[in-house]
Chains A and B, each alone.
Chain A
Amino acid sequence: MTASASKALKSNAIAYSFILPNLVIFAVFTLVPIAFAFALSFMKWDGANPMVFVGLGNFSRMLHDENFRISLLNTLYFVVGTVPTTLVFSLLLAVLLNREFVGRSFFRAAFFFPFVASLVAVSVVFNMMFFPSMGPVNNILRAIGVSNPPAWSASVQWAMPTVMMAYVWRSVGYYMIIYLAALQGVPHELYEAARIDGATPGQCFRKITVPLLTPATFLVTILLTIASFKIFDLVLVMTGGGPGRATNVLVYTIYDSAFLSFEYGYASAQAMVLFLIVLAITILQFRGEKKWVAYL
C-alpha cells in the first residue's frame, strides 16, 4: 500500500471511529426496531403467542377499518390546521422580534419557553383555561355576550381545534428561532434601497422579506408537516382521543392497536402506512422546491 493510501485509510478509520458510537446506538435503538416493525407488519402477533405470517392481510384490513379511516381524517385535519397557522405566526413573530427594542431578549425567551415546558403541564393548564363551565376563556365569552360558549375539549366539534391551539402555541417559539436566524441573512441594504424608493413596510415585507426567507419557509414547512403527522402526546394528555373518536389521530390508533388491543402486527402495518404517507408528502415538497424556493 502506498504511503498516501495508508494515510487516507488511517484518517478514514479515525473519522469512522468518531461516528461509530452514535451509529451503533442509532442502529440498535432506531434502525433495528424499524426493520423489525417492517417485518411485523406482515405478521399477526400479540406479544406472547407465536407470530403468524399473514402477508398483506393487515393492509387489506386497514382499508375497511373505520377506526383507521377516522384517525387518518383527523390527522389530515390536524396537519392542515396547524402547519399554515404555525408557519404564519412564527414568521410574524420573528419579524416583530427582529427589530431593536427594549426587552427584546426577554420576549424572545418568553415565546420560546412553551416549547421546553412540560407537555403534561401545558395540557393541564390549557384544559383548565378552556374548562367548559367555569374556565376563564368561557367566562370572558359569556361576559361579552356569547350565550352558549363551546365545551372545547369536551365537545366533538371543538376538541380538535383546542388541541390545535395548544400545539400552535407550543410550537411557534421553536420555528420563530429558525426564522430569526434566517432573517439575519437578509441584507439591510435591500431595505434601505426600498425605503429610498418609497416602499411601505408592508411592501418591504411582501417583496423583500418573504421571498428571501423561502429557504427557511421550506425547512419549516417540512419540519412542521412531519411533526404534525406524528402528533400524539398532546392528544393523549388533553383529550385521550375523545370525545368519542373526535381526536383519535393516526399515532393514537397505532398506540391503541399495539398496547391496548395487543395487535402488534396490525399496529406495525398502520405505522408503515403513516411512514409512507409522510415520505410521499416530503418527496412532493422536495420536488416543488425548485419552483418556489429562491436561494441568494
Chain B
Amino acid sequence: MKKLCIIAALMIVALSISAADKVKLKFVVWDLNQTTYIQPVIDAYKAAHPNVDFELINIPANDYDQKIAVMLAGGDDSDIISVKDIPSYAGMVAKNQLEPLNAYVTKSKVDLAQYSGVIDQIVVDKKLYALPFRSDVWIMYYNKDAFDKMKVGYPTNDMTWEQYAALARKVSNGEGVDRIYGSHYHIWRSTWQLPAVQDGKNSIISTDYSFMKPYYEMVIAMQKDKTIMDYASLKVGNIHYSGVFYNGQIAMLPMGSWFIGTLIAKTKDGTNTQKNWGIVKYPHPAGVPAGTTAGTITSLAINAKSANKAAAWDFVKYFSGPEGATILAKLGTLPAIRNQAVLDAIKKVEGFPQDKNSGEALATKTVRLELPNHPKAADIDKILSQEHELIVTGSESIDQGLANMSKRVKETLAAQ
C-alpha cells in the first residue's frame, strides 16, 4: 500500500512537471491558406522547441482588423497577435491591448538596427509594441507573354510614371471579355495614391491633397480609354487582382511584394496559368531615383492579457529574427531583415523569375511607409477611401474630391 502511494505520488509529480513544461500558444493569423510561410516557421520552431504547441486562429483578411478589435475588446487571451496594418496597430496601442516589448528586447539583446529604420516608425511614446517580421515594398509585376504577343519591350527597372502609362496603352489589346488590359489598379486607394507620396515632399496625412491631382489624372485617363478595368466593375464584382493576373487578363500589375510568394505557390500548383511573369521596380516620378517606393510592415505583437508572455516572446523573437527571415526568404516572401544574403536567398527560390531585371527589382533605395503611425490613422484612412471612391467613379471631379479630402482630414486632425 505504502509502495503504491509512493509510486502514485512520483507519477503525479512527473506528469505535472512535464505538463508544466508544455506550452500551448494561441497565434492569430489571417488567410492562412494564402500565407504560405506561417506553417514552415512554426514547424521549424517546434523542431527546436518540442514542448511548445500552437493553436492557429485563422481570420479572413478582409475582416481581420475588425475581428481582432472585437476579440481583444472582449478580453480574448490569445498570446500572439499578427499586426496587419498601422491603423489597427495604433488602435490596439491606444487601448493598451499590447504588451510593451522594450524589456524583452533589452534582455534578449535583439539588434533593432537590422530592421532598416522601420522600428522608429512604430515606436509610440518610446515604447515598442510589435516586432516586424515582414516588410513589403511596392513593385510591378508583368506578364511576359502579353508583351511578346504585342511585340512590345518589357518594362524596365527605371521607368517614370509617364513611360509606364504609355507602355500600358501600347500593350493593351482586344475587346470585351477577351481584352488584355495594359495595367490594373486594385480597389484600394493606395494603388492610386502612393505614387503621389513617393517623392517624399508630401505625406498621406496632410491638410492639402492637391498634390495628388496629376496622379489621379493619369489613372482616370487610363480608365477612360480602357487601359485598365474600371473601378466600378472591380468593386461591384469583388474582383481580386490575383484572379485577373492568373487568367492573363492584365499585362502589368503594380502591387506589393507580398504577392511574390503567392504567385510562386500558385504557379506551382497550376492555379496561375501565366508562367512567364517577371517583376521590376515600382515606377517613379521624374527626378526621383529608381528604387524609391512605398512599403508596409507586418508585425507580431504580444497580447497584454496573454498568460504565456515569455514563451510568446521567444517565438516572436524567432519569427522576426534571422531564423524566421531565412525561412521566409526561401519561400519568396520579403522578411523585415533585408540584407544581401536574404535578397540572394530570394533570388534562388524555385519559381522566382530568373531574368536579370527581376533579380534587381527588390533592391530598394528609399522605402516610405504607406500610412504613417498616427492616432487618427484609421479615421483618415476612411475619409481618404470614401473621397477616393467618389473621384474614381466619376461622381466628383478630381478637384472637388481632393478639396473635400483636405477639408475633412483637417477637421479630423483638429477635433478632440
Contacts and interface: CB of A to CB of B under 8 A. Distances in A.
Contacts of A243: 235, 389-390, 393, 395
A246 B395 CA distance: 10
Contacts of B91: 262
A121 to B, nearest CB: 14
Contact of A132 (B66, B233, B408): B233
Given A47-B73, A127-B236, A132 B230 contact: yes
Contacts of B69: 259, 262
A259 B72 CA distance: 12
Contact of B232 (A128, A132, A260, A261): A132
Contacts of B235: 154, 242-243
A156 B66 CA distance: 26
A284 interface: no
Given A127-B236, A131-B236, A259-B66, A154 B378 contact: no
Contacts of B233: 131-134, 154
A296 B387 CA distance: 55
Contacts of A132: 230, 232-233, 236
A151 to B, nearest CB: 5
Interface in A123-138: 127-128, 130-134
Interface stretch (B42-50, B92-100, B148-156, B351-359): B92-100
A60 B237 CA distance: 40
A156 B395 contact: yes
A245 B386 CA distance: 7
Question: What range describes how many residues of B lie at the interface?
Answer: 20 to 34
A127 B36 CA distance: 32
B111 to A, nearest CB: 32
The interface residues of chain B, by DSSP majority, are classed as helix
Given A48-B73, A48-B95, A259-B69, A127 B389 contact: no
Nearest to B233: A133
B70 interface: yes
A264 to B, nearest CB: 9
Interface string A151-171: 111111100000000000000
A151 B393 contact: yes
A261 B379 contact: yes
B82 to A, nearest CB: 19
B231 interface: yes
Nearest to A238: B236
A151 B390 contact: no
A244 interface: yes
B213 interface: no
Contacts of A200: none
Nearest to B65: A260
B240 interface: no
A49 interface: yes
A152 B232 CA distance: 9
B389 A155 contact: no
B73 A151 contact: no
Question: In this complex, which of A46, A131, A132, A157 has the most chain B Cβ atoms within 10 angstroms of its Cβ?
Answer: A132
B127 interface: no
Contacts of B232: 132-133, 151, 154-155
A152 B395 CA distance: 12
B382 interface: yes
A242 B386 contact: yes
Given A132-B230, A133-B232, 5 more contacts: A49-B95, A133-B230, A133-B233, A243-B389, A244-B396
24 contacts: A48-B73, A48-B97, A49-B95, A66-B408, A127-B236, A127-B237, A128-B237, A130-B236, A131-B233, A132-B230, A132-B233, A132-B236, A133-B232, A151-B232, A151-B393, A155-B393, A156-B390, A156-B393, A157-B395, A242-B386, A244-B387, A244-B390, A261-B378, A262-B95
Interface of A: 46-49, 66, 127-128, 130-134, 151-157, 242-246, 259-262
